[in-house]
Amino acid sequence: MKKKILVLFAIAFVLIANLRAQVTIGSANAPKAGAILDLNSATTGGLVLSNVDLTDLSVIPANTFVNISTQQDTNQELAGMIVYNTNAATGVGVHFWDGEDWIKPCAPPAPGPIIFSSSSLLAGVKYAARVAPVAGATSYVWTLPPAFTVFGTSDGATITFSAPSGTYPEASIVVRAKNACGESSRRYVGTQQIAVTAISGCNPLPPTPLITSDNVAFADGNGDVVHTHNGITFSAPIKIIGKGAKTSLPSTSNSLVDYSDHAANTNLYGSWFTWCMVARYNDILCPDEWHVPTQDEFVTYAGGSSPIALSTLPSNHGWLTGGCIYGSSVRYVGTSGAYWSSTLYVSLPDASYNADAKNSSFYPQATSNHHSGASLRCVR
């Protein structure tokens, strides 16, 4: 008899537990369909959330929540937990935990993936990191390691930076979208580390800088051309001003940092630079948000890695046939022009990619030896 009573009691307990899976608080009415918890009261009132002092919106603080004895940077099990933040410095109001950060419900969504302007990074050379614009965002907050140098942004969703050689954690570069309500959760580089390779094959800079920002200008003989195609914005060619004219470049060594005035018209085609000159002085030659184009950006600009007809580009593209120079040997002026990228050609230790613009075509991934002289157009 006792066993039967225990069995009946167990069945009743299970049924009651199932019935209580949906709960109404504040009235005897059944909870609305789909609701686990239904606050329903004839008396005016509301839900009072736990008041928490969140001094850091990127962590769950220690000894603040039940059974949380140590600070936690991530906790996916508590994703969706809601509290009321009382800390004025981090933003008073309702916040929810998304697994990695405390976010206000009215903040914009997290940005999409961070895209670098190049798949390989060289120490001291400027590159761009960008995310697609986020709906509702009015600005973006970028965080980089102290070792990185930030040069500026062409828009809030893009930042221009350089870094010393080394390997950095995947969370080294972080961006959040922001509006008047607050900041989104973090977006950082996926799961791979960020590797920055040292430049080799180039002599150290001279004790006295070869050029300063006062010696650099756009070659404006073609109307100071700046144009955008496939999301890549190019400047006019870069020229050196206020310096003594140079007519030759080293013909056998890739270790010299130098430039040469254009044999035909520097004001139209810009100056010629060795690759080492471009790599070592990239922050002066391409100031602020501008940077030396990468091979990836040339390919994106052209819509692929194969040659394309110049006629497919905007009418103001400005890819003039400025030729190139080897030592004192000037070549191809009027028929072809070479434009440096910052990307090394790994198959040859003293060569890098460049774009080749001919009378009728544009080839985005040609190559040249570092000691040869090619033109330079910056991107942003």
**Residues 6+ positions from 312 with CB-CB distance below 8 Å:** none
Residue-level pLDDT at 8: 38
**Residues 6+ positions from 307 with CB-CB distance below 8 Å:** 361, 362, 363, 364
Please return the burial class of 7, using the count of CB atoms within 10 Å of its CB with bins 0-12, 13-18 and 19+. exposed
Please return the burial class of 63, using the count of CB atoms within 10 Å of its CB with bins 0-12, 13-18 and 19+. exposed
Residue-level pLDDT at 11: 42
Closest CA to 260 of 321, 330, 209: 330
- Of the pLDDT bands very low, low, confident and very high (cuts 50, 70, 90), residue 21 is low
Classified as helix, coil or strand, 286 is coil
| Paired tokens of 256 | 């010299």
| Paired tokens of 109 | 């969504």
pTM of the complete model: 0.82
Mean pLDDT along residues 228-245: 93
For 259-299, write each residue's pLDDT tens digit.
Answer: 999 988 999 999 999 999 999 999 999 998 999 999 999 99
Rounded to 10 degrees, the C-alpha dihedral 112/226/365/283 comes to: -80
The separation between CA 234 and the C-alpha centre of its own chain, rounded to angstroms, equals 18
For 97-145, write each residue's pLDDT tens digit.
Answer: 999 899 999 999 999 999 999 989 999 999 999 999 999 999 999 999 9
For 207-227, write each residue's pLDDT tens digit.
Answer: 778 899 999 999 988 877 899
Q: What is the CATH code of the structural domain delimited by 115-197?
A: 2.60.40
Classified as helix, coil or strand, 181 is coil
For 330-369, write each residue's pLDDT tens digit.
Answer: 999 989 999 999 999 988 878 999 999 998 899 999 999 9
For the ranges 228-237, 294-303, 308-317, the lowest mean pLDDT is seen at 308-317
Strand 329-333, strand 336-344: pairing: unpaired
Comma-separated ranges of CATH 2.60.40 domains in the chain? 115-197
